Structure 1
Amino acid sequence: MDDVHDAARGHFTLSPRLTEIDPSPHWDLVLGEGPILAVALHDGHAMRESLRPHLAFDDAQLRRDEDPLTGLFTDVGDSRLCVRTSRFEVDLNRPREKALSADPEDTWGLRIWRGPLPREELERSLAIYDAFYATVHALVEQLLARWGCALLLDIHSYNHRRDGADLPPAPQEGNPDIELGVTTADHARWGAVLARLGDVLRASPVAGRPPDVRENVRYPTGGHFPESLYARFGERLCVISPEFKKIYMDEWTGQADLSVLDDLRAGWRRAVAEVRPEFLACR
């Protein structure tokens, strides 16, 4: 317990309850009592003004490759962390050396930036990156000390109409409505949780039909965020990375379909509620 308190010192205080000592302008963190932490890494669109002259993209292009509205799915968490800052200012789901990259090979072949970025811009983004990971590590250590195990939901969305607004969407075969990224979850310990989560999601209609829910289809190798957490915390932490296909919005105009969004959120809430007892039982 002393080691946990040492690691968390400078980030959280336990008096009168778990509280962030120095909140960051780059994310919103709401702390509650329970073993579930829901995170939306790519929900944000904010970008510092000093980076904007270097952009080759406009605002609409940036939004298309962010994960708008995923912060709404974090309401299942006892604690909720929504990043305000755009993934293009700092991508928290990549290794540190690629957190702000001007190489199109790191951004799906898209040229986001006009050219190489100044060193001072890279350093400012890396400072955000380091502060974020220090905060998450300290918070997870507190959750594990309090509950014995924890569920971290790493929530994302993905595009399926990249070919154009008026062209057919990507084939369903490789693009499930909800992908559950479970590349790091210890199946020996958490296999029943993963199966139950998927079953409840499939039984929760979206736009009048059962959603297509599968594991590790589009992103079979996972992201840096869950991989790094597994490397640090092991099987005590179950990390699941749902990817919601943007059937809840028009990815070209940004307009949301509120009915589909409500269906997805309702099914997601039911699914997480079904697996919650597994994590409460770790105490």
Structure 2
Amino acid sequence: MQYIFAAVVIAALLVVYLWIENKNMVVTNYLLEQKKVPDNFHDMRFVCITDLHYNQYGKGNARLLKAIHESKPDVILIAGDLVVTAKPKKIEVAYHFLSELTKRYPVYYAPGNHELKWEHSIGCDKEFYQNFLEKLKKLGVCYLNNESLTLKKGSDTLIIRGLSLPLRFFVKGKQKVEISVDEIESLIGKTKEDAYEILLAHIPDYFESYALYGADFILSGHVHGGIMKLPFLGGVISPSYELFPKYDSGIFKKGRTVMFLSRGLGTHTIPVRVFNRPELLCVEIRKC
């Protein structure tokens, strides 16, 4: 009986811990210093959001919005999966969140695999997806589905590109599909040497190709930090069922390219996080 009681207590404590772990995000701040940062964009601050999946931090996402406001961003970047494909009826959660953001900030939103499935009428019909796009436009959200936007300050240029890979790149339990620089360019165009390039690319697996493509600053998500993090080993499993994925979370560098891989803010299919709290990123760029 003593052992049973101890087991019940431990199980209850574990449940409480997991609830706290899932419901209490952290804000991770990065300072990115690069020679290529244009003078007129020096000290620009970005709040970076991925994989919210309708998750809510307080009523109407009040705690999340408070954390964003306290970070004092110039721009909001969203690298996909604000929604859950199988739950289109919950879309009002995303709309409310976006409406609050667009009251104060420019919002640039690239799709993840969940939005991409809607585009292909998986989990919804074509009319729903078109209504989704129209609502984003009305809210003032700039939705970058293999599109780019150019920001100008004086003689300086900053380009934000939203990469949407075909569904075959989001494989589960199969050999990873490779992508070339030419394929990336065919989707979103070539980078410009005289511009600072930000790439919103939901899936991080192709970081080396993104770097060869010429992006300066990449925001990715998708992996949810590997669901559970183990000391020295990192994230345990990716959405494609890859054990101990190379890219789980954090900052990665190749040449002059830097990728920020967020642990994301929500869960869906595997609704737990272990030693892997939800994460809101804030990145400030500076010329060095």
> TM over 0.5: same fold?
no
Select the structure with the greater relative contact order (CA < 8 A; seq sep ≥ 6). 2
TM-score, reference length from structure 2: 0.32
More helix by share: 1
TM-score, reference length from structure 1: 0.33
